[in-house]
A and B are shown apart, each in its own frame.
Chain A
Amino acid sequence: MAEGRLVAWRKKEGDPIEEGEVIAEVETDKAVMDLEAFESGVLRKILIHEGDRAAVNTPIAIVGSAGEPIESLLPSSPASSLPAQPRPAGVPESRPPEKTGPSPAGNASAEEGSRVKASPLARKIAAEGGLPLSTLSGSGPGGRIVKQDVLHALAGSPLAAPAAPAQASLGEERLLPLSLMREQIGARLLASKTSIPHYYLEIEIDASPLLALRAEINEALAALPSEEKLSINDFFLKATAEAARRVPEVNASWEGKGIRQFAAVHLAVAVAVSDGLITPVIRSAQDKSLRELAREGKELAGRARERKLKPEEYSGGTLTLSNLGMYGIESFAAIINPPQALILAVGALTKKPVVDDQDRIVVGHRVRLVASCDHRIVDGALGARFLREIKGLLERPLGLLL
């Protein structure tokens, strides 16, 4: 996180403000968040206007008492995104405080869910700056996040500044600076694909019973006052969580000296956002009903697209589901979301000729699933058992309602 955008002011100049009151909305690289006032007073002067970007630690406004002279605090160019000199009294940083500060016991990182390695000093400074450690990559020994990494992130590095929204046109070569999110996707997925021994298992699901059940449920739901509707994907969420409960060996992580098998299925769901990808996590998915999963999945995906997720909502996943069916992709193999052991890729629902149990060629509804597995943890037979569970659950879908 190097800079943010001021989305909207909730207060105007001259308004009294209370400590803890929401005064503005700011957009970080991952989310849009409410910015609370750190001190009470009067909003004397707005320095960063709606829609403008500012580097972290740039004063965005001056808060003081009503008659206090503030001229000396005014920067020479008010909308400048250059880090300003001493912060005027009472001006909050352009970063919302987050209760989910890194805990000494180890915080989960954005797409990894592993323990974040950081020095005590880095933790303190990051917590104070409201900077989730999971958004940083460490430059210390073994990728440990050190003080310098946090300071760089807080100060804003020129590399992380998004490109000016110039119109893309062919024939013009450009170097697009990496956003923090892109940098992280690059680092994580490169590490995953190059360090995890991936292999792939593909299976085809007969989706006809599922479609019939879904139609029936949606009809029933339509009669209810709520506007609920289940998608095919919701059944996949439920089937994946349930299959992982039955085959817990896949719900695990390689830790070098051992394999950590998780006690709960924290199901991460890949969601495409405007300039990247994020994987919000449905916690303890194995204990949630189909409707609960559907509701939570939609809600998280919605907020992911609006970039309003809190760090704990996109970290700590133990298994990931990725679905490109809506784009007409019949099947694909995804890259494992480290440090997880398995990612399940769901393809499009297709109508195709199939041979039924009486050897007749009929019209079938099929979905192809590809599991990418970490062979260090999930051997072929184990991965196959997991897929067989999912197939069984989806082809006799009444069980998913239990």
Chain B
Amino acid sequence: MPDFYDLIVLGGGPAGYVAALRAAQLGQRVACVEQEELGGTCGNWGCIPSKALLKSAEVFDLFRRAEEFGLRSSGHDFNFPAVIARSRSVADRMARGVDHLFEARGVTLFRGRGALLPNRKVRLVHGGEEEVLAAKQILFATGCRPKTLPFLPVQGERVLTSRQALASTERPESIAIIGGGAIGVEFAYFYSVFGSRVTVVELLPGLLPGCDGEVAKALARDLAKRGIQILTSAKVESARIGEKSVVLEIAGKIRQQLEVSSVLVAIGVEPNIDSCLAPGVNLEREGGFVKVDTRYETSYPGVFAAGDIIGPPLLAHVAFREGLEAIEGIFVPGKVPSRVGVFPSCVYSQPQVAMLGLTEEQAREQKLAFRVGRYPYTANGKAMASGDSTGFVKILFSEPHGEILGAHILGADASELVAELSVTIACEGSSAELHEAIHPHPTLSEMIGEAALVAENRPLHI
């Protein structure tokens, strides 16, 4: 007789662990199956440890600018393995935090490989032992893993994905980063601060595909100033992996060979499906991801899915929400789950990028009537005082109501600033509410109110 639960969650990443906690909070008997640490890619191999690395880079970068602030420092240096070690310890702390939450809420954690069986059962394999768990409902939240290129298999210190890069204690002399998305850009900034020669190779014509063009261009200019080489509309066609280096054959505006000590493959992710299904179980898919209906239910009745596994946007905060919506749809009477609509996304290089809603290009394409409110960091007192003069706030407001269609911020703390716009959109506020709300002075947030005034042709500080 298998153990019987109200809910089994397959995968302890952002979608899975939040779903498990919420279901337990709703009084359900919940089990979660995870083969590694709780927290998933985000907590262990993504968002959190990469932010720890980037903070080290930022601080080191600031050391170099000491004189700008009237400070003298000498002999500042870095200890790369210690930088990596700090990041790992932060990730471990986060994972332990989720462990404690599970304990406190009474979620039963099964460590091991889980595979979905028919009839809402899960086969758990752990250390050669096998066990079958059964539940009234199952949430499939197995997430994604980095995609690789066939001619560039992951290999030691030479060929890495973000996962190996986060753990590798060897600082590459030079590195080619294939893929100019968020992960590629963050690692480009990180390695360049610590002195690696960095080349970013992006297939599309600009960095951060899907980002507002103006922001992407400004970011590329900034990264280039740091000495990062950016090759756009460029494709890595083949690679020769040697003992000490990798030689890439790149076809772009010009055909070139690039010899680097390491390659980071950051071309996106692919879903963990097949390894998580028992033979004979086949969830219906769409574009490679698990297909779900409006209630997050898969083609198997009683089996729900949420998070990266159901497709883009592949973001932890989207997964959190999806996990919650799916669970509340199952256990809260009358709840109609919703799919994620407008969501922010952020890149934590310096300068940071934060975006929300439509880009200017998309707004034009949709033939929307809109105004742009732009405000530069150079016109903000706090930014100047802090020495963060790079970047701008750009907000798209609809005509005639001033609805916020999109917001794009390049600069220091952009990821924190964008939250205000996310809330305003959720409340259906407009440009009027943005400038009527009093922003504390001096803060970067004043730029949001000023951008709204700019859009109404009545800026005060510019």
Contact = CB atoms under 8 A, between A and B. Distances in A.
Contact of A125 (B401, B427, B429): B401
B429 A119 contact: yes
Of B400, B428, B432, most A-chain CB atoms within 10 Å: B428
Contacts of B428: 119-122, 140, 146-147
A111 to B, nearest CB: 24
Nearest to A125: B401
Interface string A50-82: 000000000000000000000000000000000
Contacts of B422: none
B401 A124 contact: yes
B6 interface: no
Contact of B430 (A120, A128, A140, A146): A120
A125 B430 CA distance: 12
A147 B432 CA distance: 16
Contacts of B433: 120
B407 to A, nearest CB: 15
Nearest to A145: B428
Interface in A106-135: 119-122, 124-125, 128
A288 to B, nearest CB: 39
Contacts of B427: 119-120
Contacts of A119: 427-429
Interface in A232-261: none
A120 B403 CA distance: 9
A128 B399 CA distance: 13
Interface in B417-462: 427-430, 432-433
Nearest to B427: A119
A77 B328 CA distance: 47
Contact of B429 (A120, A128, A140): A120
B418 to A, nearest CB: 19
Contacts of A146: 428
Contacts of B401: 121, 124-125, 128
A125 B402 CA distance: 11
A147 B426 CA distance: 11
Contacts of A128: 400-401
Nearest to A121: B428
A140 B403 CA distance: 17
A120 B402 CA distance: 10
Interface string B381-399: 0000000000000000000
Contacts of A125: 401
Contacts of B430: 120-121, 124
Interface in B24-42: none
Contacts of A122: 428
A141 B246 CA distance: 55
A230 to B, nearest CB: 50
Nearest to B429: A120
Nearest to B432: A120
Nearest to A148: B428
A119 B430 CA distance: 10
Of A124, A128, A147, most B-chain CB atoms within 10 Å: A124
A94 B173 CA distance: 71
A344 to B, nearest CB: 34
A128 B402 CA distance: 13
Contacts of A121: 401, 403, 428-430
A64 B428 CA distance: 36
A122 B429 CA distance: 9
A86 to B, nearest CB: 12
A124 B404 CA distance: 14
A88 B98 CA distance: 60
A121 B433 CA distance: 10
Nearest to A146: B428
A137 to B, nearest CB: 15
B72 to A, nearest CB: 51
A122 B400 CA distance: 13
Interface in B101-141: none
Nearest to A140: B428
Nearest to A118: B428
Interface in A363-383: none
Contacts of A124: 401-402, 430
Interface string B298-333: 000000000000000000000000000000000000
A106 to B, nearest CB: 16
A204 B3 CA distance: 67
A122 B403 CA distance: 10
Nearest to B404: A121
B432 to A, nearest CB: 7
B45 to A, nearest CB: 35
Interface string A283-326: 00000000000000000000000000000000000000000000
A385 B409 CA distance: 64
B449 to A, nearest CB: 15
Interface in B357-415: 400-403
Contacts of A147: 403, 428
A306 B427 CA distance: 38
A76 B19 CA distance: 53
Contacts of A140: 428
Contacts of B429: 119-121
Of A119, A122, A125, A146, most B-chain CB atoms within 10 Å: A119
Interface in A139-194: 140, 146-147
A121 B426 CA distance: 11
A26 B401 CA distance: 27
A151 to B, nearest CB: 11
Interface in B54-72: none
Nearest to B401: A124
A293 B323 CA distance: 59
A124 B433 CA distance: 12
A124 B428 CA distance: 11
Interface in B212-265: none
B371 to A, nearest CB: 15
B362 to A, nearest CB: 19
Interface in A342-361: none
A255 B355 CA distance: 39
Nearest to B398: A121
A341 to B, nearest CB: 28
Nearest to A147: B428
A147 B428 CA distance: 7
B140 to A, nearest CB: 29
A107 B400 CA distance: 23
A128 B430 CA distance: 15
Contacts of B403: 121, 147
A146 B426 CA distance: 10
A128 B401 CA distance: 10
B47 to A, nearest CB: 28
A351 B87 CA distance: 91
A128 B403 CA distance: 14
Contacts of B402: 124
A140 B429 CA distance: 14
B416 to A, nearest CB: 24
A146 B341 CA distance: 15
A120 B433 CA distance: 8
Given A121-B401, A121-B430, A124-B401, 11 more contacts: A119-B427, A119-B428, A119-B429, A120-B427, A120-B428, A120-B433, A121-B429, A122-B428, A125-B401, A128-B401, A146-B428
CB-based closest 6 A-B pairs = A119-B428, A121-B428, A124-B401, A120-B429, A121-B403, A147-B428
25 contacts: A119-B427, A119-B428, A119-B429, A120-B427, A120-B428, A120-B429, A120-B430, A120-B432, A120-B433, A121-B401, A121-B403, A121-B428, A121-B429, A121-B430, A122-B428, A124-B401, A124-B402, A124-B430, A125-B401, A128-B400, A128-B401, A140-B428, A146-B428, A147-B403, A147-B428
